[in-house]
Amino acid sequence: MNKKKNLDVKKLLAAAQKPSVIAKKLHSFYRGKIEVVPKCRVKNLDDFSIWYSPGVAAVCTDIYKNPELVYEYTNKWNSVAIVSDGTRVLGLGNIGPEAGMPVMEGKALLYKYLGGVDAYPICLDTRDENEIIRTVKILQPSFGGINLEDIEQPKCFPILNILRKECRIPVWHDDQQGTALVTLAGFINALKVVNKKMDKVKIAMIGAGAANICISRLLVLYGVTPANIIMVDSSGTLHKERFDLKSFLEKWALALDTNINVVRGGIKEAMENTDAVIALSTPGPGIIKKEWIKNMAKNPIVFTCANPTPEIWPWEAKEAGAAVVATGRSDFANQINNSLGFPGVFRGALDVRASTITDAMCITAARELALCIADNKIRPDRILPTMNDWEIFPRIAAAVGVKAVKEKIAVKKLNYDKIFYGAKTIIKRSRAITETMMKKSYIKSAKDKI
Protein backbone atom coordinates (compact mmCIF):
# COMPACT_ATOMS: atom_id res chain seq x y z
CA MET A 1 0.00 0.00 0.00
CA ASN A 2 2.80 2.40 0.96
CA LYS A 3 4.69 1.43 -2.17
CA LYS A 4 1.67 2.26 -4.35
CA LYS A 5 1.25 5.59 -2.52
CA ASN A 6 4.91 6.46 -3.13
CA LEU A 7 4.49 5.68 -6.83
CA ASP A 8 1.40 7.92 -7.00
CA VAL A 9 3.29 10.78 -5.36
CA LYS A 10 6.16 10.36 -7.82
CA LYS A 11 3.70 10.57 -10.72
CA LEU A 12 2.13 13.70 -9.26
CA LEU A 13 5.54 15.32 -8.79
CA ALA A 14 6.61 14.41 -12.32
CA ALA A 15 3.38 15.90 -13.71
CA ALA A 16 3.92 19.08 -11.67
CA GLN A 17 7.40 19.53 -13.13
CA LYS A 18 6.40 18.82 -16.75
CA PRO A 19 5.34 22.40 -17.69
CA SER A 20 8.81 23.72 -16.82
CA VAL A 21 10.52 21.13 -19.02
CA ILE A 22 8.28 21.84 -22.01
CA ALA A 23 8.46 25.62 -21.52
CA LYS A 24 12.20 25.78 -22.15
CA LYS A 25 11.87 23.86 -25.42
CA LEU A 26 8.95 25.88 -26.78
CA HIS A 27 10.24 29.30 -25.80
CA SER A 28 13.40 28.55 -27.74
CA PHE A 29 11.40 27.25 -30.72
CA TYR A 30 9.11 30.28 -31.05
CA ARG A 31 11.66 32.87 -29.88
CA GLY A 32 8.98 34.84 -28.10
CA LYS A 33 5.21 34.64 -27.71
CA ILE A 34 3.92 37.84 -29.30
CA GLU A 35 4.47 39.92 -32.43
CA VAL A 36 2.96 42.95 -34.16
CA VAL A 37 0.68 42.34 -37.16
CA PRO A 38 -1.41 44.86 -39.16
CA LYS A 39 -5.10 45.37 -38.38
CA CYS A 40 -5.83 47.48 -41.47
CA ARG A 41 -6.04 46.23 -45.05
CA VAL A 42 -3.10 46.65 -47.41
CA LYS A 43 -4.38 45.85 -50.91
CA ASN A 44 -1.34 47.36 -52.62
CA LEU A 45 1.46 49.79 -51.83
CA ASP A 46 -0.71 52.77 -52.78
CA ASP A 47 -2.56 52.22 -49.51
CA PHE A 48 0.48 53.50 -47.64
CA SER A 49 -0.39 56.99 -48.85
CA ILE A 50 -3.45 56.65 -46.58
CA TRP A 51 -1.92 54.77 -43.67
CA TYR A 52 1.26 56.82 -43.76
CA SER A 53 2.35 59.95 -45.65
CA PRO A 54 0.75 62.09 -47.00
CA GLY A 55 -2.75 61.09 -45.83
CA VAL A 56 -1.84 60.52 -42.18
CA ALA A 57 -0.99 64.22 -41.77
CA ALA A 58 -4.69 65.12 -41.82
CA VAL A 59 -5.29 62.69 -38.97
CA CYS A 60 -2.39 64.12 -36.97
CA THR A 61 -3.77 67.63 -37.43
CA ASP A 62 -7.17 66.58 -36.13
CA ILE A 63 -5.61 65.03 -33.03
CA TYR A 64 -3.50 68.17 -32.49
CA LYS A 65 -6.71 70.22 -32.43
CA ASN A 66 -8.51 67.68 -30.22
CA PRO A 67 -6.16 65.26 -28.36
CA GLU A 68 -9.10 63.03 -27.36
CA LEU A 69 -9.38 61.96 -31.01
CA VAL A 70 -6.27 59.82 -30.46
CA TYR A 71 -8.68 57.24 -29.01
CA GLU A 72 -10.66 57.22 -32.28
CA TYR A 73 -7.81 57.35 -34.79
CA THR A 74 -5.19 55.09 -33.19
CA ASN A 75 -4.94 51.85 -31.21
CA LYS A 76 -4.38 53.74 -27.94
CA TRP A 77 -7.94 52.82 -26.92
CA ASN A 78 -6.98 49.13 -26.81
CA SER A 79 -3.33 49.29 -25.72
CA VAL A 80 -1.79 48.44 -22.35
CA ALA A 81 1.85 48.70 -21.30
CA ILE A 82 3.08 45.93 -18.98
CA VAL A 83 5.76 47.72 -16.96
CA SER A 84 8.22 45.87 -14.73
CA ASP A 85 11.69 46.33 -13.28
CA GLY A 86 12.13 42.59 -12.74
CA THR A 87 12.66 42.90 -9.00
CA ARG A 88 10.02 40.36 -7.96
CA VAL A 89 9.36 37.95 -10.80
CA LEU A 90 6.95 35.14 -9.90
CA GLY A 91 8.53 33.30 -6.96
CA LEU A 92 12.01 33.84 -8.36
CA GLY A 93 12.66 37.25 -6.77
CA ASN A 94 14.95 39.94 -8.12
CA ILE A 95 16.18 38.37 -11.36
CA GLY A 96 16.30 41.54 -13.45
CA PRO A 97 14.40 43.02 -16.41
CA GLU A 98 15.78 40.69 -19.09
CA ALA A 99 14.89 37.55 -17.12
CA GLY A 100 11.46 39.05 -16.48
CA MET A 101 10.70 39.41 -20.19
CA PRO A 102 9.27 35.88 -20.70
CA VAL A 103 6.73 36.58 -17.95
CA MET A 104 5.74 39.95 -19.42
CA GLU A 105 5.39 38.41 -22.89
CA GLY A 106 3.21 35.69 -21.39
CA LYS A 107 1.09 38.37 -19.76
CA ALA A 108 0.72 40.12 -23.12
CA LEU A 109 -0.38 36.84 -24.71
CA LEU A 110 -3.06 36.36 -22.03
CA TYR A 111 -4.26 39.93 -22.46
CA LYS A 112 -4.73 39.39 -26.20
CA TYR A 113 -6.19 35.90 -26.21
CA LEU A 114 -8.46 36.24 -23.19
CA GLY A 115 -9.35 39.92 -23.29
CA GLY A 116 -8.68 41.08 -26.86
CA VAL A 117 -6.31 43.71 -25.43
CA ASP A 118 -3.07 44.63 -27.21
CA ALA A 119 -0.41 44.59 -24.49
CA TYR A 120 3.29 45.36 -24.75
CA PRO A 121 6.04 44.19 -22.38
CA ILE A 122 8.20 47.10 -21.19
CA CYS A 123 10.96 45.96 -18.84
CA LEU A 124 12.86 48.88 -17.35
CA ASP A 125 16.58 49.00 -16.63
CA THR A 126 16.07 50.85 -13.38
CA ARG A 127 15.04 49.98 -9.84
CA ASP A 128 14.53 53.57 -8.80
CA GLU A 129 11.00 54.30 -7.60
CA ASN A 130 10.93 57.86 -8.94
CA GLU A 131 12.31 56.84 -12.33
CA ILE A 132 9.61 54.17 -12.68
CA ILE A 133 6.92 56.70 -11.80
CA ARG A 134 8.30 59.24 -14.27
CA THR A 135 8.63 56.62 -17.03
CA VAL A 136 5.01 55.54 -16.68
CA LYS A 137 3.84 59.14 -16.76
CA ILE A 138 5.71 59.94 -19.96
CA LEU A 139 4.37 56.76 -21.61
CA GLN A 140 0.76 57.90 -21.22
CA PRO A 141 0.28 59.34 -24.76
CA SER A 142 0.89 55.89 -26.27
CA PHE A 143 -1.27 53.68 -24.06
CA GLY A 144 -4.84 53.39 -22.83
CA GLY A 145 -3.72 51.80 -19.56
CA ILE A 146 -0.73 50.60 -17.54
CA ASN A 147 -0.24 47.19 -15.90
CA LEU A 148 2.49 47.30 -13.26
CA GLU A 149 4.02 43.86 -12.80
CA ASP A 150 6.57 42.10 -10.61
CA ILE A 151 7.85 45.18 -8.74
CA GLU A 152 9.22 44.51 -5.27
CA GLN A 153 7.75 45.83 -2.06
CA PRO A 154 7.65 48.27 -0.36
CA LYS A 155 8.16 50.54 -3.39
CA CYS A 156 5.29 48.90 -5.32
CA PHE A 157 2.82 50.55 -2.92
CA PRO A 158 3.80 54.22 -3.40
CA ILE A 159 4.38 53.65 -7.13
CA LEU A 160 0.81 52.43 -7.57
CA ASN A 161 -0.73 54.99 -5.21
CA ILE A 162 1.00 57.96 -6.86
CA LEU A 163 0.29 56.81 -10.40
CA ARG A 164 -3.37 56.09 -9.66
CA LYS A 165 -3.74 59.64 -8.38
CA GLU A 166 -1.66 61.47 -10.97
CA CYS A 167 -2.18 59.62 -14.26
CA ARG A 168 -5.03 60.31 -16.68
CA ILE A 169 -5.22 56.65 -17.74
CA PRO A 170 -5.91 53.63 -15.51
CA VAL A 171 -2.87 52.22 -13.72
CA TRP A 172 -3.13 48.93 -11.90
CA HIS A 173 -0.70 46.58 -10.17
CA ASP A 174 -1.73 43.04 -11.03
CA ASP A 175 0.28 41.49 -8.19
CA GLN A 176 -1.88 43.51 -5.81
CA GLN A 177 -5.30 44.14 -7.33
CA GLY A 178 -5.45 41.20 -9.74
CA THR A 179 -4.39 38.60 -7.19
CA ALA A 180 -6.69 40.13 -4.60
CA LEU A 181 -9.87 40.09 -6.70
CA VAL A 182 -9.41 36.49 -7.89
CA THR A 183 -8.59 35.32 -4.35
CA LEU A 184 -11.68 37.09 -3.03
CA ALA A 185 -13.82 35.44 -5.72
CA GLY A 186 -12.48 32.01 -4.83
CA PHE A 187 -12.94 32.67 -1.13
CA ILE A 188 -16.57 33.75 -1.60
CA ASN A 189 -17.36 30.40 -3.22
CA ALA A 190 -15.15 28.33 -0.88
CA LEU A 191 -17.17 29.65 2.05
CA LYS A 192 -20.32 28.37 0.33
CA VAL A 193 -18.78 24.89 0.19
CA VAL A 194 -18.04 24.79 3.94
CA ASN A 195 -21.14 26.82 4.89
CA LYS A 196 -19.29 29.51 6.85
CA LYS A 197 -19.92 33.26 7.06
CA MET A 198 -17.53 35.95 5.78
CA ASP A 199 -17.75 38.07 8.95
CA LYS A 200 -17.20 35.09 11.29
CA VAL A 201 -14.27 33.21 9.72
CA LYS A 202 -10.79 33.36 11.19
CA ILE A 203 -8.06 33.59 8.56
CA ALA A 204 -4.30 32.99 8.69
CA MET A 205 -2.55 34.91 5.94
CA ILE A 206 0.93 33.57 5.25
CA GLY A 207 3.21 36.12 3.61
CA ALA A 208 2.90 39.87 3.99
CA GLY A 209 3.85 40.91 0.49
CA ALA A 210 1.99 43.12 -1.96
CA ALA A 211 -0.52 40.40 -2.83
CA ASN A 212 -1.61 39.42 0.67
CA ILE A 213 -1.71 43.01 1.89
CA CYS A 214 -4.10 43.91 -0.94
CA ILE A 215 -6.08 40.69 -0.44
CA SER A 216 -6.59 41.57 3.22
CA ARG A 217 -7.88 45.01 2.21
CA LEU A 218 -10.44 43.59 -0.22
CA LEU A 219 -11.49 40.88 2.25
CA VAL A 220 -12.18 43.52 4.90
CA LEU A 221 -14.05 45.72 2.42
CA TYR A 222 -16.16 42.68 1.51
CA GLY A 223 -17.01 41.85 5.12
CA VAL A 224 -14.21 39.93 6.86
CA THR A 225 -13.66 41.13 10.44
CA PRO A 226 -10.12 42.60 10.63
CA ALA A 227 -9.60 41.29 14.15
CA ASN A 228 -10.08 37.72 12.82
CA ILE A 229 -7.07 37.96 10.49
CA ILE A 230 -3.59 36.86 11.57
CA MET A 231 -0.88 37.74 9.06
CA VAL A 232 2.63 36.30 9.12
CA ASP A 233 5.78 37.76 7.58
CA SER A 234 9.34 36.42 7.66
CA SER A 235 9.75 37.60 11.28
CA GLY A 236 6.49 36.12 12.63
CA THR A 237 2.92 37.19 13.21
CA LEU A 238 1.91 40.82 12.79
CA HIS A 239 0.47 42.42 15.93
CA LYS A 240 0.33 45.77 17.70
CA GLU A 241 3.61 45.15 19.54
CA ARG A 242 5.64 44.58 16.35
CA PHE A 243 7.22 48.05 16.57
CA ASP A 244 9.77 47.05 13.92
CA LEU A 245 6.99 47.54 11.37
CA LYS A 246 6.41 51.23 12.05
CA SER A 247 8.51 52.29 9.05
CA PHE A 248 6.44 50.05 6.74
CA LEU A 249 3.09 51.83 6.70
CA GLU A 250 1.01 49.11 5.07
CA LYS A 251 2.25 46.39 7.42
CA TRP A 252 1.99 48.59 10.49
CA ALA A 253 -1.63 49.42 9.70
CA LEU A 254 -2.37 45.68 9.52
CA ALA A 255 -0.46 45.04 12.74
CA LEU A 256 -2.73 47.52 14.51
CA ASP A 257 -6.03 46.35 12.99
CA THR A 258 -5.62 42.56 12.92
CA ASN A 259 -4.71 39.73 15.31
CA ILE A 260 -6.84 41.06 18.18
CA ASN A 261 -5.54 38.38 20.57
CA VAL A 262 -1.87 39.18 19.80
CA VAL A 263 -1.04 35.64 18.74
CA ARG A 264 2.73 35.34 18.62
CA GLY A 265 4.95 32.92 16.76
CA GLY A 266 5.08 31.85 13.13
CA ILE A 267 2.98 30.00 10.59
CA LYS A 268 2.12 27.13 12.92
CA GLU A 269 0.75 29.41 15.64
CA ALA A 270 -1.09 31.64 13.17
CA MET A 271 -2.93 28.68 11.60
CA GLU A 272 -4.11 27.08 14.84
CA ASN A 273 -7.93 26.95 15.09
CA THR A 274 -8.41 29.16 11.99
CA ASP A 275 -11.05 28.46 9.37
CA ALA A 276 -8.86 29.34 6.41
CA VAL A 277 -5.29 29.90 5.36
CA ILE A 278 -4.38 32.16 2.45
CA ALA A 279 -0.70 31.75 1.62
CA LEU A 280 1.29 33.77 -0.90
CA SER A 281 4.76 33.40 0.51
CA THR A 282 7.85 31.35 -0.25
CA PRO A 283 7.59 28.66 -2.94
CA GLY A 284 7.32 25.20 -1.41
CA PRO A 285 6.66 22.49 -0.82
CA GLY A 286 7.24 22.17 2.92
CA ILE A 287 6.50 25.76 3.93
CA ILE A 288 3.17 24.62 5.42
CA LYS A 289 3.11 21.28 7.26
CA LYS A 290 0.31 18.73 7.18
CA GLU A 291 0.04 18.71 10.98
CA TRP A 292 -0.61 22.48 10.99
CA ILE A 293 -3.64 21.94 8.76
CA LYS A 294 -4.84 19.19 11.10
CA ASN A 295 -4.81 21.78 13.91
CA MET A 296 -7.12 24.17 12.03
CA ALA A 297 -10.88 24.40 12.62
CA LYS A 298 -13.28 21.87 11.08
CA ASN A 299 -13.45 21.81 7.26
CA PRO A 300 -10.61 24.30 6.68
CA ILE A 301 -10.05 26.22 3.47
CA VAL A 302 -6.46 26.09 2.25
CA PHE A 303 -5.28 28.51 -0.45
CA THR A 304 -1.55 27.95 -1.08
CA CYS A 305 -0.72 30.16 -4.03
CA ALA A 306 3.06 30.62 -4.10
CA ASN A 307 4.54 30.35 -7.58
CA PRO A 308 5.86 28.27 -9.18
CA THR A 309 5.31 25.71 -6.38
CA PRO A 310 2.64 25.95 -3.66
CA GLU A 311 3.59 26.05 0.02
CA ILE A 312 2.21 22.51 0.37
CA TRP A 313 1.21 20.09 -2.36
CA PRO A 314 -2.59 19.99 -2.72
CA TRP A 315 -2.82 16.23 -2.20
CA GLU A 316 -0.97 16.63 1.11
CA ALA A 317 -3.36 19.38 2.21
CA LYS A 318 -6.34 17.15 1.42
CA GLU A 319 -4.79 14.24 3.33
CA ALA A 320 -4.50 16.59 6.31
CA GLY A 321 -8.23 17.31 6.22
CA ALA A 322 -8.61 20.43 4.06
CA ALA A 323 -12.16 20.72 2.71
CA VAL A 324 -11.22 23.10 -0.12
CA VAL A 325 -7.75 23.42 -1.59
CA ALA A 326 -6.62 25.98 -4.16
CA THR A 327 -3.24 26.85 -5.67
CA GLY A 328 -1.90 29.26 -8.26
CA ARG A 329 -1.31 26.52 -10.82
CA SER A 330 -3.42 25.50 -13.78
CA ASP A 331 -2.45 21.81 -13.50
CA PHE A 332 -4.33 21.45 -10.20
CA ALA A 333 -8.01 21.98 -9.39
CA ASN A 334 -9.08 25.44 -8.19
CA GLN A 335 -6.49 27.70 -9.78
CA ILE A 336 -6.33 31.09 -8.07
CA ASN A 337 -4.68 32.99 -10.87
CA ASN A 338 -4.69 36.62 -11.98
CA SER A 339 -5.43 35.48 -15.53
CA LEU A 340 -9.07 35.01 -14.50
CA GLY A 341 -9.28 38.69 -13.65
CA PHE A 342 -7.09 41.18 -15.45
CA PRO A 343 -8.16 40.49 -19.09
CA GLY A 344 -11.80 41.24 -18.26
CA VAL A 345 -11.05 44.11 -15.88
CA PHE A 346 -8.96 45.97 -18.44
CA ARG A 347 -11.38 45.13 -21.25
CA GLY A 348 -14.11 46.88 -19.28
CA ALA A 349 -11.92 49.78 -18.15
CA LEU A 350 -10.69 50.44 -21.71
CA ASP A 351 -14.13 50.15 -23.29
CA VAL A 352 -15.62 52.87 -21.08
CA ARG A 353 -12.32 54.80 -20.92
CA ALA A 354 -12.12 54.73 -17.13
CA SER A 355 -9.55 57.08 -15.62
CA THR A 356 -8.60 54.61 -12.89
CA ILE A 357 -9.42 51.17 -11.47
CA THR A 358 -10.83 51.48 -7.97
CA ASP A 359 -11.12 48.94 -5.15
CA ALA A 360 -14.88 49.01 -5.72
CA MET A 361 -14.32 47.97 -9.35
CA CYS A 362 -12.08 45.11 -8.15
CA ILE A 363 -14.73 43.91 -5.70
CA THR A 364 -17.34 44.11 -8.47
CA ALA A 365 -15.08 41.98 -10.67
CA ALA A 366 -14.58 39.47 -7.83
CA ARG A 367 -18.32 39.20 -7.22
CA GLU A 368 -19.01 38.70 -10.93
CA LEU A 369 -16.26 36.07 -11.22
CA ALA A 370 -17.71 34.18 -8.25
CA LEU A 371 -21.18 34.33 -9.81
CA CYS A 372 -19.87 32.74 -13.01
CA ILE A 373 -20.44 29.41 -11.25
CA ALA A 374 -24.01 28.85 -10.12
CA ASP A 375 -24.38 27.90 -6.46
CA ASN A 376 -25.59 24.40 -7.36
CA LYS A 377 -22.47 23.85 -9.49
CA ILE A 378 -19.92 24.86 -6.85
CA ARG A 379 -17.91 21.88 -5.56
CA PRO A 380 -14.82 21.47 -3.35
CA ASP A 381 -12.76 21.01 -6.54
CA ARG A 382 -14.56 23.73 -8.54
CA ILE A 383 -14.87 27.04 -6.73
CA LEU A 384 -13.90 29.13 -9.76
CA PRO A 385 -14.26 28.89 -13.51
CA THR A 386 -11.16 28.27 -15.61
CA MET A 387 -9.69 30.18 -18.53
CA ASN A 388 -11.56 27.75 -20.80
CA ASP A 389 -14.82 29.36 -19.67
CA TRP A 390 -14.11 32.29 -21.93
CA GLU A 391 -17.42 34.12 -21.45
CA ILE A 392 -16.35 35.06 -17.92
CA PHE A 393 -14.18 37.76 -19.47
CA PRO A 394 -16.91 39.78 -21.22
CA ARG A 395 -19.05 39.33 -18.09
CA ILE A 396 -16.32 40.79 -15.89
CA ALA A 397 -15.69 43.52 -18.47
CA ALA A 398 -19.34 44.55 -18.45
CA ALA A 399 -19.62 44.50 -14.65
CA VAL A 400 -16.43 46.57 -14.25
CA GLY A 401 -17.42 49.02 -17.00
CA VAL A 402 -20.85 49.62 -15.47
CA LYS A 403 -19.27 50.17 -12.05
CA ALA A 404 -16.85 52.74 -13.53
CA VAL A 405 -19.81 54.56 -15.08
CA LYS A 406 -21.63 54.55 -11.72
CA GLU A 407 -18.51 55.91 -9.99
CA LYS A 408 -18.38 58.73 -12.59
CA ILE A 409 -14.85 57.90 -13.70
CA ALA A 410 -15.78 56.77 -17.23
CA VAL A 411 -15.74 58.92 -20.39
CA LYS A 412 -18.12 56.59 -22.27
CA LYS A 413 -21.46 56.04 -20.54
CA LEU A 414 -22.23 52.54 -21.81
CA ASN A 415 -24.73 50.08 -20.34
CA TYR A 416 -24.08 46.43 -19.42
CA ASP A 417 -25.30 44.93 -22.71
CA LYS A 418 -23.32 47.35 -24.86
CA ILE A 419 -20.10 46.58 -22.98
CA PHE A 420 -20.77 42.84 -22.79
CA TYR A 421 -21.51 42.30 -26.50
CA GLY A 422 -18.71 44.64 -27.56
CA ALA A 423 -16.21 42.78 -25.37
CA LYS A 424 -17.51 39.43 -26.58
CA THR A 425 -16.99 40.45 -30.22
CA ILE A 426 -13.44 41.69 -29.62
CA ILE A 427 -12.43 38.60 -27.64
CA LYS A 428 -13.94 36.18 -30.20
CA ARG A 429 -12.06 37.99 -32.97
CA SER A 430 -8.78 37.72 -31.07
CA ARG A 431 -9.19 33.99 -30.48
CA ALA A 432 -10.27 33.42 -34.08
CA ILE A 433 -7.17 35.20 -35.43
CA THR A 434 -4.91 32.94 -33.34
CA GLU A 435 -6.78 29.80 -34.41
CA THR A 436 -6.68 30.83 -38.09
CA MET A 437 -2.93 31.48 -37.94
CA MET A 438 -2.43 28.04 -36.41
CA LYS A 439 -4.55 26.35 -39.08
CA LYS A 440 -2.66 28.18 -41.84
CA SER A 441 0.67 27.31 -40.15
CA TYR A 442 1.63 30.97 -39.80
CA ILE A 443 2.05 29.85 -36.22
CA LYS A 444 4.04 26.67 -36.68
CA SER A 445 3.29 23.42 -34.90
CA ALA A 446 5.82 22.40 -32.25
CA LYS A 447 4.65 18.81 -31.77
CA ASP A 448 8.06 17.36 -32.53
CA LYS A 449 9.67 19.63 -29.92
CA ILE A 450 7.70 18.29 -26.96
- Catalogue the active-site residues: 52, 107
Closest CA to 247 of 255, 236, 258, 237: 255
Helix (H, G, I), strand (E, B) or coil at 171: strand
Closest CA to 23 of 331, 312, 434: 331
The CB-based long-range contact list for 76-79 (8 Å cut-off, 24+ gap) reads 76/141, 76/142, 76/143, 76/144, 77/144, 77/350, 77/353, 78/116, 78/117, 78/118, 78/144, 78/350, 78/426, 79/117, 79/118, 79/119, 79/120, 79/142, 79/143, 79/144, 79/145
- Strands (E) across 252-340 are located at 276-279, 301-304, 324-327
Q: Are 178 and 400 in contact (CB under 8 A)?
A: no
**Count of all residues that appear for the chain in the document:** 450
Q: In this structure, how many other beta carbons lie within 10 angstroms of the beta carbon of residue 292?
A: 21
> What is the Cα–Cα distance from 207 to 247, expressed in whole angstroms?
18
Sign for the CA dihedral angle at 22, 25, 28, 30 comes to negative
Q: Which of 307, 320, 245 is nearest to 281 (CA)?
A: 307
**Cis ω on the peptide bond leading into residue 385 (within 30° of 0)?**
no
In degrees, to the nearest 5, what angle opens at C-alpha 289 toward C-alphas 279 and 336? 30
Which residue(s) pair with 229 in the sheet? 203
Dist CA 280 CA 88 (whole Å): 13
- Per the DSSP assignment, residues forming a β-bridge with 410 are 354
Give yes or no for a contact between 136 and 163, defined as CB atoms under 8 angstroms apart: yes
Query: β-strand 236-237 against 229-233: which pairing, if any?
Result: antiparallel
